[in-house]
Chain A
Amino acid sequence: GAGVSQSPSNKVTEKGKDVELRCDPISGHTALYWYRQSLGQGLEFLIYFQGNSAPDKSGLPSDRFSAERTGGSVSTLTIQRTQQEDSAVYLCASSFSGSQNLYGYTFGSGTRLTVV
Chain B
Amino acid sequence: AQKITQTQPGMFVQEKEAVTLDCTYDTSDQSYGLFWYKQPSSGEMIFLIYQGSYDEQNATEGRYSLNFQKARKSANLVISASQLGDSAMYFCAMRGLNYGGSQGNLIFGKGTKLSVKP
Contact = CB atoms under 8 A, between A and B. Distances in A.
Nearest to A105: B106
A107 B89 CA distance: 15
A50 B100 contact: yes
A89 B43 contact: yes
Interface residues of A, number: 27
B45 interface: yes
Interface residues of B, number: 24
A107 B39 CA distance: 11
Interface in A70-97: 89, 91, 93, 97
B44 A110 contact: yes
A41 B109 CA distance: 9
Contacts of B101: 48, 50, 56
Contacts, number: 65
Contacts of B88: none
Interface in B57-113: 91, 93, 95, 97, 100-102, 105-111
Given A50-B101, A56-B101, A104-B35, A42 B111 contact: yes
B12 interface: no
Contacts of B102: 45, 48, 56, 58-59
Contacts of B95: 104
Interface of B: 33, 35, 37, 42-45, 47, 50, 52, 91, 93, 95, 97, 100-102, 105-111
